[in-house]
Amino acid sequence: MDFVTDLETLQTTALEALSAVATPEALEAWRIEYLGSKGKVKAAMAAIKDIPKEQKGAYGKTANGMKQALTAAFDEKKPTVAAAGPKGPIEDITLPGRAPRVGRPHIITQTINEITDIFGRMGFDVVYGPEVEDEQHNFIDLNIPERHPARDPLENFYIDIKAMLRSQTSTVQIRTMETSQPPIRVVAPGRVYRPDTVDATHSFMFHQFEGLFVDEGVTMVNLRTCVDQFCKAYFGEEIVTRFRPSFFPFTEPSAEVDVLFHMPNGETKWIEIGGCGMVDPNVFGAVNIDPERYTGWAFGFGIERLVMRKHNIPDIRTLYESDVRFLHQF
């Protein structure tokens, strides 16, 4: 019996089967059948112990050659079959395309843009000021006396004896009037800092925007009209506003601005959104503007407060928790 011929037949059969392989799964099945630990090649090589002594030399040489040939053929076939196989999900090119998910401005940024756009249409310029301020701009020039509670070190973030994080955007009106002469019509958005205890309605950092209008003949009626028009543009034409008498060192007379909101439970409620008033003559004196010739008004509104009222957000902290599920709503 010619055992060598049997090996040559096995090799030919294996190579023919390999040539027909077209998928990674079929290639793996071929490997197991022929080159696996229990495959036909391993069995053929193990059979050498039963081969007659005179044929063992030729049989062993042929068996080793077959194993090397089939292993080389398998290695050559493998990258070809893998390249032809699927790389991932098959896309249906006839379906409409999927737009990529892109980022968007934070709701606070969106609101600042909306506010500045509204006042831009009213003829206001947008100005900015430094967040690190001195007492001169944060308190003294705003007519806030030395013993006023707002100047208590425990109520402010002092960096050193001369510098502090600004506690209000009113500092920007001082810097604007220092470098400009009337007519002045500006709005100034920005961050402010106060060491408040964080809860649903308070934070140690929040945003305000300051409005300032200085010219000859400016009156409280102009202020009332401007604030009312802004609230209607931002909240809707049906919104109702009111002024309540108040006091601020840098305005006289002064008022709180309230807006009547319809709450989710069906009730209506007046909610304060900020303060305003006519610029105090002492403030004009600090920036060398003649209070006998010019009058002006100013207001300061909390941006987070506007956002929370417009979108029925009950907790200010959700604005800064970076939860994309919340932010994606805007």
What pLDDT shows up at residue 218?
95
The confidence score (pLDDT) of residue 18 equals 85
Report pLDDT for 83. Answer: 58
Strand partners, 279: 251
3-state secondary structure of 76: helix
pLDDT of residue 1: 53
Task: State residue 240's pLDDT score.
Answer: 93
Rounded to an integer, what distance in angstroms lies between the CA atom of residue 232 and that of residue 239? 6
Q: Enumerate residues 6+ apart whose C-beta is below 8 A from 117.
A: none
Question: Is residue 165 helix, strand or coil?
Answer: strand
Every domain of the chain and the residues it spans = 3-84, 107-327
Q: What pLDDT score does 294 carry?
A: 96
State the number of CA atoms in the 13 A half-sphere of 164 facing the CB.
24
323, two tokens: 């939860």
pLDDT of residue 7: 77
User: How many angstroms separate the CA atoms of 165 and 157, rounded?
Assistant: 6
Give the list of residues 6+ apart from residue 315 with CB closer than 8 angstroms, or none.
200
Is 3.30.300.30 the CATH classification of the domain at 107-327?
no
Which residue carries 């959700």 as its tokens?
318
pLDDT of residue 86: 54
The CB-side HSE value for 76 (13 A sphere, CA atoms) comes to 9
Task: With a cut of 50, list the residues of the chain below it in pLDDT.
Answer: 85
